Amino acid sequence: MRLLQEITLGNLPLANRMAMAPMTRSRADLNGVVGDLTVLYYTQRASAGLLISEGINISQQAIGSPFTPGIYLPDHISAWQKVTDAVHEKGGKIYAQLWHTGRVSHSADKHGVLPVAPSAIAIKGQKHFTSQGQKEYETPRELETSEVRQIVQDYAQASLNAIEAGFDGVELHAAFGYLPNQFLVESANQRLDQYGGSIENRSRFVIEVMQAMVGAIGQNKVAIKLSPSIPYNNIIDSNPTALYSYLIGEFNKLPLAYIHLMNPLFPTDDLPQYPRDVMATFGTLSKHLIIANGGYTRETGEQELEKGIAGMVSYGALFLANPDLPKRFEVDAELNQPDRATMYGGGEKGYTDYPFLN
């Protein structure tokens, strides 16, 4: 199987072409510190060619939901060090996904402080999970230009912190409607400064962040996750093909490790401008390794690699429920089914208690 073939990511040898996709699990403490269960969770799944961590908040401002981990305090770094040490002892490789949620958050979990965003535009038609239950989204505060530049530096510092914590590299979460994604699209970004307006201006924040991250930790250690055809969290653009084609062209100028592309996960029938085949539309434009994500099985993942566009495939819920997923694919074993009710928050149930093959 191609999925089980070795591959080199930058200078990092990987045992197979299967990545564990980043998944919010909400198992950190109230201060964003992960514990022994998180060490066990990632260590159990170290047979993945590459583990990509759940989203890790780059600053206090970045926090969107309760019980999500951070990477901005010494306690955060030392806690993640235990995770990366254990993964490396098992022969695994692990990247940190760096996260700023922007307007996908609520003051209930931010000490009463309003979320920030490119523009003061609230998410409509959805509710946000908070420590006080589901709440309507608030209108965020528009970031000052100087604050945007500070967040760029926050990402650079978080990259340094992740390397200090033992991660092999970092992935910018620029997908699914979080802050970088908000800067990219017209529905969330109506700024009048150099970070708003044209495609070049709306792309500027993400490009500056990637440049700062590469500048902080070096080449072949920085990656990015994109969701060009996902409208979730009110992310709508009139010409996503032009937007993401420009963005990937700019990324070709940087020494990145990979680009992680998400397939459409929601109906886009009323959005005819959204490409259905993300890998063919955007993956072919990149000189970097492509990791394909979104709804793959053993069979469709193999088919994706056979097309020759993606070099790896990432699995989310399947890795959550099957810590030994590469072995199960190898022997074509039956798969455990993920328990949706235990995905977010709680203890070992639905986290570290999924059975391995005998």
Instruction: For residue 35, count CB atoms less than 10 angstroms from its CB and return exposed for 0-12, middle for 13-18, buried for 19 or more.
Output: middle
Is 351 a member of any domain?
no
pLDDT score, position 268: 82
* DSSP codes of every residue in 76-128: HHHHHHHHHHHHHHTT--EEEEEE--TTSS-GGGTTTPPPEESSS----S-EE
Given 41, 42, 95, 178, the catalytic residue: 178
pLDDT score, position 16: 98
pLDDT score, position 178: 98
pLDDT score, position 267: 81
Is 350 a member of any domain?
no
* Per-block mean pLDDT, blocks of 10 residues, the chain (358 long): 97 97 96 98 98 98 96 98 98 98 96 96 94 94 98 98 98 98 98 98 98 98 97 95 98 98 89 94 98 97 98 98 98 97 95 96
Is 348 a member of any domain?
no
Residue in the block written with tokens 């109906």: 267
pLDDT score, position 288: 98
Instruction: For residue 266, count CB atoms less than 10 angstroms from its CB and return exposed for 0-12, middle for 13-18, buried for 19 or more.
Output: exposed
pLDDT score, position 266: 82
Which residues lie closer than 8 Å to 41 by C-beta, 6 or more apart?
25, 27, 351, 352
Is 34 a member of any domain?
yes
Which residues lie closer than 8 Å to 346 by C-beta, 6 or more apart?
27
Q: What is the CATH number of the domain that holds 234?
A: 3.20.20.70
Report the DSSP pairing between strands 50-57 and 18-20.
parallel
Number of folded domains that form the chain: 1
pLDDT score, position 125: 94
Is 242 a member of any domain?
yes
Task: Reply yes or no on whether 296 is catalytic.
Answer: no
Is 353 a member of any domain?
no
Is 355 a member of any domain?
no
Is 106 a member of any domain?
yes
Half-sphere exposure of 294 (CA within 13 A, CB side): 21
Q: Which domain holds residue 338?
A: 2-342
